[in-house]
Chain A
Amino acid sequence: MVKHVCFALFLCLFAVSPAAEAQAANYPRKPLEIVVPYAAGGGTHIACEILVPGADKFLGQPLQVTCKPGAGGAIGATYVSKAPKDGYTLLYTTLSLSIAPYIGKVGYKVDDFIGIAQCSDVASVIAVRSDAPFSNTREMIAWIKSNPGKFTWSHPGVGSSLHIQGANVFYQAGVLKNTKDIPNKGTAPGIAAVLGGHVTAISSFLPALSENVKAGDLKVIGVVGDKRLNELPKIPTFKEQGVPAMVTSWRGVFVHKDTPPDIVKHLEQAFAKIIASPEYKERNKKLGEPLEYAGSEAFTKLARDQAKDMELLLKEMGLAVN
């Protein structure tokens, strides 16, 4: 972030800097900018920051992280989609890349990007207060059906990946229309609202509420995705409980699709090595980020396929405007 400020100073001095012609042969000749479309200090920023130490060994030049938050990740993604397609501007983002185009007006298309490397895959949970009158998915669905309009669930903002993941659970269970979502400003007010009994449930990533679960104040109803969480081996996934809620939130690196193919190749190889390095794995483990690697082709396909699934889900939720 110091670089960020320096960059701002730099911008003031030179309105236009001569753009270097990208040639794969001597790429990279200057540090690479990796744009995080979320606020500095947030989960995605920190997850990106742990890629940086030692990255120059593999990339040939250092990585510089710039945070451009706003519009659920759309501002940073648009910035990268409009930047020179020379491989010097990368994007580090989440599932929101595939969501945002359907919710608001954005300046990019999902197809504008190709994946370089998937770094992680984070599954969310649905949790309720421990005195809730249901403890598993079947009981929860039955309760929702017999108490229409009474079930409220919190998420950290309209169009956030936790909003979509939570809504998908209720959609797959066939009860989305009987629930009311409560968009709080972030996860913290949402947990407080559930603990205080103002809201029935919360869609959240586990680390934010794991201490409350351990203390017995909250209980987890189910886990999204097809794997149980290491921290909660006894809690079954929604899929195991008959509700195929499979939308999880990935994080990873993208570039513009018109970037020269040999540069894409160089980046893919370098990031594969960074992610496979023991130092990165160690930092990743400390952060509690579930490592899930996919190469360029598979990751690109994941993002584009998910965009198609999103369209259907968001229309069903009454959110899609485009």
Chain B
Amino acid sequence: MDFFDLVASVITGWNLLFLAAGVFCGIIGGALPGISPSMTIALLLPISLYMPASYAVMLLIGAYQGAMYGGSISAVLINTPGTASAAATAFDGYQMALNGQAGKAIGMSLTASCTGGLISAIILIFMAKWLAAASLKFGPAEYFGVMLLALTLIAGVCGDNMLKGVAAAALGLLAACAGQDPIVGSDRLTFGIFSLFDGFAMLSVFIGVFAMSELLTQLKQKPEALDLPPELMDYKKDKLTLAEYWSQRWNMLISGLIGTFVGILPGVGGSTASFLAYAEAKRRSKYPEKFGTGVIDGVAASEAANNGVCGGALIPMLALGIPGDVVTAIMVGAFVVHGIKPGPLLFSQNINEVYTIYVSLLLSTVFLLLIGMLFLPLVVRIVRVRKSILFPCVFILCIVGTYAARGNLFDCAAMLGFGLFGYFLRSNKFQLAPFIIAFVLGPEAELNYRLALRISDNNYMTFLEKPISAVLLLLTVVSAVFFVRRSMKKA
């Protein structure tokens, strides 16, 4: 069969139905805090085992794409990132919602998700083998270079006060230190609490610092103010325009590429991708000072990047059999049961299945757009609920979501603690972004730094002897100088 016959044979009514069902389930799962994309896939996994292989592929790929977008809905509307990947979306998305632009923010997030997903799908289809081979050149030293470069981008999200930004980032690194030492396995900062053995759960930190601290901040208002019906705004105008979408084309392209690249690296997840893209969008921007106050660029960058991860993570999975993230790891299990064995032989032995995956990935972005559009007007209504009703619901959702992620009550306590901590940061005019980004990237940087040194017998030159790592370190220095000069100019 030639290419077009193959593609046409994949596009059947039932296949499309399951793809749509997958996207729908993904959006719901992603939007519920505590149900991560990986848990959404894990939930669908038992069902998918009873279906023919192509339906299962459609269902799971659709759900992956949908869940990556779904997380932004709750991030924008109630400042509670439904998934870790959507945490960066909350920075500007929630502010947009407060400015009466919830519909615009979610519209941007939806279209950026589709665009990011499409970019990574195209890259997957045309460059999978080459990129997978290139990704193998990245060992611990190179990973450390990527992480270090990413950490300097924190300087870009510090806001006006660099010192406070660095302090918040240092606290983020400190919080990330808690838990088992990644190399020798000894306890660090666990204070004998063995629920801390794995450190703080990412979601409990995100929900605490974003959502819970927001609730605490709102408590400062008079009770009567919370009971007022929200100001009537012109909801008809609260829509994303084509011009606004088009103005983000370069941003979405670059963010989508960042997401795809991060997705290819095994073990680095969607949250790293969206923070990187967010920080990079801010660095590039002509109005970086407005980031965090509700600019559409921030939402577009973060969401294009986390859907870019989908196609990216599938690259090493299809070409090498190495899943690029947790979701694709679960997917491998499902595919194997159906006789699809991802790996170097897939392209020669199972070319039909490869096309099924390609088509499902491309079409899932279309379905995401359609289904997302359908539900957009519905979900945006949440902002019309008066705060005295909305906030208690958000509070319950925070607790339940944190508990559901790992089934551990300690995480709920940690979430409340981080809520107080986030409130402290906000009321003292610290930026939240440096704290969160350092918390996410710190452990990655540490692990790879120590592994690189372990492999090279503590030879620090290893970082300079490897060409890729040397280039990344050079870029790190350049980017650090850039930020220092920019902040000196301002001062």
A266 at the interface (CB under 8 A from B): no
30 interchain pairs, CB-CB under 8 A: A2-B43, A5-B35, A8-B34, A12-B399, A40-B43, A41-B38, A41-B326, A46-B45, A69-B406, A70-B198, A70-B408, A75-B194, A104-B187, A105-B190, A152-B454, A180-B455, A189-B266, A191-B321, A192-B138, A192-B320, A196-B138, A198-B455, A207-B336, A211-B345, A211-B346, A214-B345, A215-B344, A217-B344, A286-B337, A319-B184
Smallest beta-carbon distance A151→chain B, Å: 11
Bound-state CA distance A236–B39 (Å) is 38
* Interface set, chain B 324-350, CB cutoff 8 A to A: 324, 326, 329-330, 333, 336-337, 341-346
Q: Of the candidates A43, A67, A70, which one forms a contact with B333 in the assembled complex, judged by CB atoms under 8 Å apart?
A: A43
Expressed in whole angstroms, the minimum distance between the Cβ of A48 and any Cβ of chain B is: 11
Instruction: Give the contacting residue for A1; candidates B39, B49, B180; CB below 8 A.
Output: B39
Q: Say whether B185 contacts A4, CB under 8 Å.
A: no
Q: Interface readout for B147-162 with A: 1 if CB under 8 Å, 0 if not? A: 0000000000000000
- B230 adjacent to chain A (CB < 8 Å): no
B106 beta carbon closer than 8 Å to chain A: no
Q: Which residues of B contact A180 (CB under 8 A)?
A: 454-455
Contact residue range for chain B? Answer: 35 or more
A contact residues around B321 at 8 Å (CB): 191, 208-209, 211-212
Interchain CA distance A65-B310 in the complex, whole Å: 28
- The CA-CA distance from A262 to B448 in the complex, in Å, is 52
Q: Is the CB of B447 within 8 A of A106?
A: no
B140 within 8 A of A: yes
Contact A49 B183 (CB under 8 A): no
Number of chain A interface residues as a range: 35 or more
The verdict on A159 contacting chain B, using a C-beta distance below 8 Å, is yes
B87-113 contacts to A, CB under 8 A, are: none
In the assembled complex, how far is the CB of residue B249 from the closest CB belonging to chain A, in whole angstroms?
33
Q: Does A31 contact B (CB under 8 A)?
A: no
**C-alpha spacing A75/B197, complex, angstroms:** 9
* Complex contacts, A16 vs chain B, CB 8 Å: none
What's the nearest-Cβ distance from chain B to residue A122, in Å?
Answer: 14
9 new A-B contacts, CB < 8 A, other than A182-B454, A186-B267, are: A40-B42, A75-B197, A75-B408, A78-B194, A192-B266, A195-B320, A197-B139, A211-B344, A288-B336
User: How far, in whole Å, are A211 and B346 apart by their CA atoms in the complex?
Assistant: 9
> Does A158 lie within 8 Å of B184, measured CB to CB?
yes
Query: Which B residues are in CB contact (< 8 Å) with A209?
Result: 321
A319 to B186, CA, bound (A): 8
Q: For residue A191, which residues in chain B have a CB less than 8 angstroms away from its CB?
A: 266, 320-322
Q: Chain B's nearest CB lies how many Å from the CB of A109? A: 14
B451 contacts which of A5, A106, A182, A197 (Cβ < 8 Å)?
A182
A45 at the B interface (CB under 8 A):
yes
**CB atoms of B455 and A152 under 8 A apart:** yes
Smallest CB separation, B190 vs chain A (Å)? 8
Q: What B residues does A42 contact at CB under 8 A? A: 330
Q: Are A158 and B182 in contact (CB under 8 A)?
A: yes
CB contacts (< 8 Å) of A72 on chain B: these are 197
User: Given the known A-B contacts A107-B194, A180-B455, A182-B451, are A41 and B139 also in contact in the complex, defined by CB atoms under 8 Å?
Assistant: no
Contact A8 B400 (CB under 8 A): yes
User: Once the chains are docked, how many angstroms separate the CA of A91 from the CA of B195?
Assistant: 18
* Interface pair B403/A104, CB less than 8 Å apart: no
Nearest CB of chain A from residue B59's CB, rounded to whole Å: 15
B52 within 8 A of A: no
